[in-house]
Structure 1
Amino acid sequence: MILRPLLHIINHTSLVAQIALGLLAGILLAWLWPEATASVGFLGNLFISALKAVAPVLVFILVASAIANHSPGQPTHIRPILLLYLIGTLAAAVVAVVASSLWPSTLVLAESAQNASPPGGIAEVLKTLALNVVDNPVNALLKANFVGILAWAIGIGLAIRHGSDSTRAVFHDLAQGVTLIVRAVIRCAPLGVFGLVATTFADAGLKALLGYVHLLAVLLGCMLFVALVVNPLIVFSQIRRNPYPLVLTCLRESGITAFFTRSSAANVPVNLQLCERLGLHEDTYAVSIPLGATINMAGAAITISVLTLAAVHTLGIAVDLPSALLLCVVSAVCACGASGVAGGSLLLIPLACSLFGIPGDVALQVVAIGFIIGILQDSAETALNSSTDALFTAAACLARESRS
């Protein structure tokens, strides 16, 4: 009798509110009854194990399906928008890497994570990267070798792209199925956050909280800088006039809605209506807006870069210029493959961490920390991603109209 009302409350309460409740409950438990945190810590370990199980399959299926089901022969006027998407995502990754270098974040990780041995430099990183690319696909899945998984996903996706429609449909259905499983795992995030926060605060106290606040400040600062400085510069290069009226319109009419929905896909209808009100070419925005919800992920690139470098700084790994540039490219590519569910970009952090030889167990601790701060991080990330879809579409359309 009690279970049914409880399930009703859970199903009708937003995930953000549930994670916030789990966060507060974990802090209170660690403060009032620290002896009990050893028991609830199992929930955090269980959540990390679930993430560990689903992340390799998610990367493989989503990337292979996206490539296999890509429709060739897109209209040529989409290309300028795709170029803006690429430039914006790469620029966001560069901003995140620079900010993380100027204001490095450190995290409270398990003792085994602190003892992980870093690679010697860019030469060792590239050597490990090359070996991981040619890894056996089964072994890559078993050991969560995300670089090898990505390489095999690209290869199989390109091969199946020339296959029958039914084969491509199977991969599309698999991608939908894996996404549902990811949603189910993420629905357990409040319990996982509760266990992780309780254990972390019982062990580290206020030090962990201050680390999370600093990390969140760097993330949100990067996203604001991209939204209010980088994106306007990119738009100005296209329309050659004051970009801020258009930038602020997109942030107000698209970004605010996306902040609360926390889903670029759910915000597609909002962006389509915005483009219609702006008087843009329908054949263009009807393609670029849904496509942007999948591949235009500046916020995700920031999240992946900042959290990866937080793990790097925590472990004392030196980051030289070639390694930083490689991380920018990898973060931008990873962001384009981010899952469409809330927190999807966090699941690609292990791939970026693997560039620096960071073990999967350590990377997944960083993913779990990402869920803890995800109440604001994921909302701001989605707002930046979705508003930029409409912004770059409008900039490209207006630039073409001014030239014609």
Structure 2
Amino acid sequence: MKDLFVKFNQVSLVKRIVLGIILGLILALVVPNATWISIFGSLFVGALKAVAPVLVLVLVMSAIAGHKKGKKTNMKSILVLYAIGTFLAGAVAVVASYIFPVTLTLTTGAEDLSPPEGVGEVIETLLFNVVANPIDALVNANYLGILMWAVVLGIALKNANQSTKDMLGSFSDAITKVVQWVINLAPLGIMGLVFTAFATSGFSALLVYGKLILILVGCMLFIALIVNPLIVFIYTRKNPYPLVFMVLRESGITVFFTRSSAANIPVNMKLCEKLGLDEDTYAVSIPLGATINMAGAAITIAVLTLATVNTLGIEVDFVTSLILVVVAAVSAAGASGVSGGSLLLIPLACSLFGIPNEIAMQVVGVGFIIGVIQDSCETALNSSSDVLFTATAEYARERKEGKEVSMNSWKLR
């Protein structure tokens, strides 16, 4: 049994995850009433969410405390890439909605939810998250608050003695090891999540909204396979697709099923380590990206808003469309790092066109119906691009410094 377990662990994690997907599909078809299988998915997502806040706090503290003076990071470039990616995603969604207009069959079921009343409220929430109580930030997985405290404590510990820094580094290594253990359970977790999706949710309800789903998924695939690679090429002047396909395979597949950018933080950090990226940079950029890098969310907000506009027969001019792109991008940055976070920002965007909250909340209800596809694809795009842009910034800096950046030298496995 031990030898079998060792051999299983020697197989590529991606291949094991694919096996988990196949097993989940088979079990959903053969024993759809065996709901106990779902617990594997719940436990896996719960474990990722549990370890992620502690990982971010300790890793960022250790990186900043041990940071050597004069060593550069790429955070400015990464933030620019996050902003470019999110704005372009919103623009693509608006253009696609004009070319392929969609109307909705409005539903109910989201009346008890409370969306933000404006962009100001979204920004205010983000600012208060930054200054949250550290214990509260850890408990509620508030990554802006966790990052703020990690940075402050890291700066405070820069002048600590070496033994303290070594202890912090050892603790960071221990948390990283725990993350590795959790990630190794991904095949079982994915099996449970796939079983749940097929056995309990099904896809019959999605047929009614087939065209809407095609527009949403089509926009996200266009960003992932055309726009993002173009951005990477402009920055690195190299074929971007080896890196693009790697992050989609090793980050995108996992988060497609967990549907949580926050839960995927440990997976992304492990991938950044595998790529040999600078820990001082990715320790900050990955959790920050899980909060503000939301290209998929910008697409969801723009497409569903314009679908509502088309349903109501409202005329939209170019200037209003441009404002929608900006609102979608800014609002997306305030979307929660958990599944379905972007849907509650749709009423905010709908308010641009004078659409009453009662109708907008019905559109949110539509979003929840198609969420099994929409939210999975959205989160896969959001989270995988965190690693993509972090790597792009580092390779772009190496190119500017005159170092040869070879895609073949990347640790592609």
Query: TM-score, normalization: structure 2?
Result: 0.61
> Is the CA contact (8 Å cut-off) linking 2:122 and 2:334 kept in structure 1?
no
Normalized per residue, which structure has more helix?
Answer: 1
1:347: Cα distance to partner?
Answer: 1.0
1:275: Cα distance to partner?
Answer: 1.0
Structure 1 residue 273 corresponds to structure 2 residue 280: no
Residues 143-202 of structure 1: per-residue CA shift (max 9 Å, x gap): 96712xx425646876x79xxx9xx335983896699xxxxxxxxxx9xxx9xx9xxxxx
> Is the CA contact (8 Å cut-off) linking 1:343 and 1:374 kept in structure 2?
yes
Alpha-carbon distance change, 259 to 329 in structure 1, aligned in 2, over 3 angstroms: same
Query: Partners in 1 of 2:284 and 2:326 — Cα distance?
Result: 25
> Is the CA contact (8 Å cut-off) linking 1:232 and 1:244 kept in structure 2?
yes
Structure 1 unaligned residues grouped into runs of 5+: 1-5, 16-70, 112-141, 180-189, 198-205
**Secondary structure at the residue paired with 1:314?**
helix
> Is the CA contact (8 Å cut-off) linking 2:89 and 2:295 kept in structure 1?
yes
Residues 261-314 of structure 1: per-residue CA shift (max 9 Å, x gap): 111111111111111111111111111011111110111110111011110100
Choose which of 373, 377, 383 in structure 1 pairs with 2:374: 377
**Secondary structure at the residue paired with 1:279?**
coil
Structure 1 residue 96 corresponds to structure 2 residue 93: yes
Question: After superposition, where does 1:92-241 map in structure 2 within 5 Å?
Answer: 92-109=89-106, 146-147=117-118, 150-152=119-121, 154=123, 168-170=131-133, 173=136, 211-241=208-238
Alpha-carbon distance change, 336 to 171 in structure 1, aligned in 2, over 3 angstroms: farther
Question: After superposition, where does 1:40-79 map in structure 2 within 5 Å?
Answer: 77-79=74-76
1:366: Cα distance to partner?
Answer: 0.4
Alpha-carbon distance change, 283 to 300 in structure 1, aligned in 2, over 3 angstroms: same
Which residue in the other structure is 2:47 paired with? none
> Is the CA contact (8 Å cut-off) linking 1:106 and 1:211 kept in structure 2?
no
> Is the CA contact (8 Å cut-off) linking 2:216 and 2:300 kept in structure 1?
yes
Q: Which moved more, 1:210-219 or 1:295-304?
A: 210-219
Identity %: 61
Alpha-carbon distance change, 175 to 375 in structure 1, aligned in 2, over 3 angstroms: same
Question: After superposition, where does 1:5-44 map in structure 2 within 5 Å?
Answer: 12=39
1:341: Cα distance to partner?
Answer: 1.8
**Secondary structure at the residue paired with 1:371?**
helix
Give the superposed CA RMSD: 3.4
Query: TM-score, normalization: structure 1?
Result: 0.62
Query: Partners in 2 of 1:289 and 1:310 — Cα distance?
Result: 32
Amino acid of the structure 2 residue aligned with 1:345: S
1:9: Cα distance to partner?
Answer: 5.2
Query: Partners in 2 of 1:219 and 1:250 — Cα distance?
Result: 21
> Is the CA contact (8 Å cut-off) linking 2:252 and 2:380 kept in structure 1?
yes
Amino acid of the structure 2 residue aligned with 1:299: G
Query: Partners in 2 of 1:107 and 1:298 — Cα distance?
Result: 23
Q: What is the number of equivalent residue pairs in this alignment?
A: 280
